[in-house]
Amino acid sequence: MPSEKIWSSYKPTAEFETVVGEEHEMYYEPDSGDLRIHDGSTPGGKTLTFDQIAFNITHVPDNPPAGTLCYSEPDETLDLFLENGVVLQVGQEMYGYVRNNTGNTIPNGTAVRFSGAEQNGDARLEVSPMIADGSVPTLYVFGIATENIDDGEDGKVTVWSKVRDINTNAFEVGDILYVDPDTAGALTNVKPTAPDNVIPIAAVLAKSETAGEVFVRPSFEQQKNYAEFFDTDDQTAASPNTAYSITYDSAGASQAISLVSNSRITFAESGLYNITVNAQVLSTNASAKDVRFWFRQNGVNVDNTTRLQTLTGNAEYRPFSMTHKLSVAADDYVEIMWATTDTSARLKAAPATAYAPASPSVQVIITQPAL
């Protein structure tokens, strides 16, 4: 059976209802969304309809322009060719269309995070390089750039599937990659640990300096917070039977928990927290005395949190420890309170010896078992 050529042309002044085009001439009618073809005699032509479209499954594209759709034999799906050499494997990839307003180019293969929204013109998600040093919450991680995105320009970020043509020479095939805690936007195969964030984001598919591939699948883990505060000096009560806030002069590793006014443990994020208090109490005489500790939240005593200890020895150290769970809202603060029936009792720090390090007068350790 002979085949005949179908061709198209642009007629800016033609009215599709009345125009009779040349046979095999094809055009698009924007008001109805119809694709029409002329038979050389019917005014307006005939609407084209398709029951199915078959693609050549062995076709190998040769640098096709953006907007081209063809079958990909290696991926067994349709490839949609986009700007800047980006290719979307239909049904196998998910992109975010984003804007770079960082002031610098975001290179292909950069781990990025949500950093705002651009409202000038088309609304656009803004991204910037992600870092896992604890300065940015884990939930802000977004994906990996699948092209170079110039400053002030739009581009695409892969949030699920492959990113190709990047340098993976530092890794091995099968390595799990994490967002790097030292260099913004970089990837590492060394699992970070607290106080850095652990953000698994991809797996290595091909090792190469120029043709490396990774499969992107960010894990959006919410970070659990923690802190340690302690005091290296003695603390005394000026009056008996009077409540005092424990103060601190030093801190260990912490995340999203800070110390305000030397005594208020302040939480940047809501959650359930375990708060453990370790104190070292010294009595300077042999009379009996009671020392009490309890929790105060936002300036209000927390019911049923008091623990007490009776001291009778002279110049005798007594360790004290208590743990309590508290549910806090963002910006809540907690104070550890103490009181004694005799001012001869004090929270006592001890200096280092030749064989042991110094001990603080009080230590508070905070962990978050649940969000």
Does residue 206 share a domain with residue 131?
Answer: yes
Residue 364 forms part of a structural domain:
yes
> Is 71 a member of any domain?
no
pLDDT digits 0-9 by tens, 146-201:
999 999 999 999 999 999 999 999 999 999 999 999 999 999 999 988 788 899 99
3-class secondary-structure state, position 228: strand
Rounded to 5 degrees, φ, ψ at 173 are -60, 130
Q: Is 55 inside a domain boundary?
A: no
Let me know whether 206 and 234 are in one domain: no
Total domains present in the chain: 3
Mean pLDDT of 204-212: 96
Average pLDDT, the chain: 89
Same domain as 329, residue 211: no
Whole-number Cα distances in Å, 236 to 240, 265, 305, 312 = 10, 20, 21, 17
d(CA 214, CA 204): 4
Of the candidates 216, 237, 259, which is a domain's last residue? 216
Kindly state whether residues 116 and 209 are assigned to the same domain: yes
Confidence grade of residue 14 (pLDDT, cut at 50, 70, 90): low
Domain presence at residue 56: no
CB crowding 310-343: b at 16 or more within 10 Å, else e? ebeeeeeebebebebebebeeebbbbbbbbbbbe
Is 105 inside any structural domain?
Answer: yes
pLDDT confidence tier of residue 24, bands split at 50, 70 and 90: confident
Q: Which residue has the higher pLDDT, 220 or 196?
A: 196
Q: What is the CATH number of the domain that holds 14?
A: 2.10.10.30
Does 258 lie in the same domain as 207?
A: no
| Boundary of a domain, candidates 157, 184, 216 | 216
Query: What is the CATH number for 164?
Result: 2.40.300
**Residue 221 domain-assigned (yes or no):** no
With respect to residue 125, please indicate whether it lies within any of the assigned structural domains.
Answer: yes
201 and 233 both lie in a single domain: no
Model pLDDT for residues 76-124, shown as the tens digit of each residue? 788 888 888 888 888 778 889 999 999 999 999 999 999 998 876 677 8
Whether residues 232 and 208 fall in one domain: no
Q: Which of 159, 194, 216 represents a domain boundary (last residue)?
A: 216
Could you give the 3-state DSSP secondary structure of residue 291?
A: strand
Given the DSSP bridges, would you call strands 69-72 and 362-370 parallel, antiparallel or unpaired? unpaired
Q: Say if residue 243 is in the same domain as residue 349.
A: yes
Q: Is the same domain home to 347 and 296?
A: yes
- Residue 293 belongs to domain spanning: 226-370
Residue 230 shares a structural domain with residue 209:
no
Name the residue among 288, 284, 286, 268 with its Cα closest to residue 332: 268
Q: Are residues 178 and 97 in the same domain?
A: yes
> Does residue 141 fall inside a structural domain?
yes
110 and 17, same domain (yes or no): no
